Amino acid sequence: MKIKIFTQPNCLYCNNIKEALTENEIEFDTIDISKSENREEWNLVTRLSGIGMTPTITFRDQIWAPNRDFQDAKSLIQRLKELLILWWTLFLEDLD
C-alpha cells in the first residue's frame, strides 16, 4: 500500500504524522501543496473530499482528512494497521 501525505511547510501536525509513519516503517510519498507542480493533484483531492486541510492522507481510493478520519498520529497508525490486516485477510481468503 503506497500512501501519499499532502503537507505544507511549517505544518507541525504534518511533521508529527510523517515521523509516526517513518517510526512504524510505513512507506509514504510527501506531496508539498505549496509547490505549483502539486497544485492540480491537491485541487482534485480537495474536490473529492470536500476538505482542504493538511495533512491529508491518500492511498488507493481512500482520502483521509485530519479530524474527520484521524485525530492524531497514533489513531492514524492504528487505523492503517487495521486496514492492512483486513486487506491481508481478504487476500488470503481469495487464495483458498
- Spans of all domains in the chain: 3-95
CATH architecture of 3-95: 3-Layer(aba) Sandwich (3.40)
For residue 64, what pLDDT is reported? 95
pLDDT digits (tens, 9 = 90+) for 12-64: 999 999 999 999 999 999 999 999 999 999 999 999 999 999 999 998 889 99
What 3 state SS string does 36-86 have? Answer: HHHHHHHHHHHHHHCCCCCCEEEECCEEECECCCECCHHHHHHHHHHHHHH
Cell of 15: 511533521
**For the whole model, what pTM was predicted?**
0.85
Is residue 96 scored above 70 in pLDDT?
no
